[in-house]
Amino acid sequence: MSGSTEEPERIRADREAGSSRIVRLQPVRVAKVVGAAVSFAATLVGLIFVLWPALKPDGLPVAKGASVTDVTLDRASFGQYLARVAVSRSGYPQAQLKRPGVLVGVELKVKGYRDKRLPIRWQIVDERTGDQIQQSRDLFYTPSASEDQNTWSIWVPLPRGRGRRFFVEVELLDDRGAVPLGRARTHHFDGA
């Protein structure tokens, strides 16, 4: 009889030990399944970025900013400007090609505006009075990288006015066209 009492207790202990083993194995199985799913998702996302690199995010947002530097100024007719930037002169009347002007060169450095259309504004200012003589917002710069740098040549028609001195100011505006990101000005020059 003592043997029969021990056997049910041992079976009960084995059952308890077995059931506790099953409980301990359950979280391990769940962890393996979750790990496999996460690994598969990471591999799939990596494959998508390899096949379509344009979808890959740039990472953390960078600080935004810009500068307009290294300003140069040369007198050049409109025809001379077209020749310097390798644009055909055909289709322009001789009077327009001979129009006097200045060629303003600037170095643009932009950070944080990838694929944004940034207006470039130039204005001619009378040195003595501070009056704006002429301006334009017809130029746009679209950086192709998060940190981009480029040199621009801008032709500005020379204002009339013997004995008057002028300067050109160039501004690079934000993608809304409201806030100047960078600004530079030429040295003073005489009018036509």
HSE (side-chain half, CA atoms, 13 Å) at 63: 2
- State both tokens at 10: 């041992």
Lowest mean pLDDT among 28-42, 67-81, 86-100, 178-192: 28-42
* pLDDT tens, residue by residue, 179-191: 999 999 999 998 8
pLDDT at 61: 61
Q: Whole-model pTM? A: 0.65
Burial of 83 (0-12, 13-18, 19+ CB in 10 A): middle
User: DSSP letter at 163?
Assistant: T
CB atoms within 10 A of CB 1: 5
Whose CA is closest to 169, among 128, 136, 129?
136
* pLDDT tens, residue by residue, 61-72: 668 889 999 999
What stretch of H or E contains 126?
Answer: strand 118-126
- Find where tokens 């020749």 sit: 83
What is the distance between the alpha carbons of residues 125 and 132, in angstroms, rounded to a whole number? 4
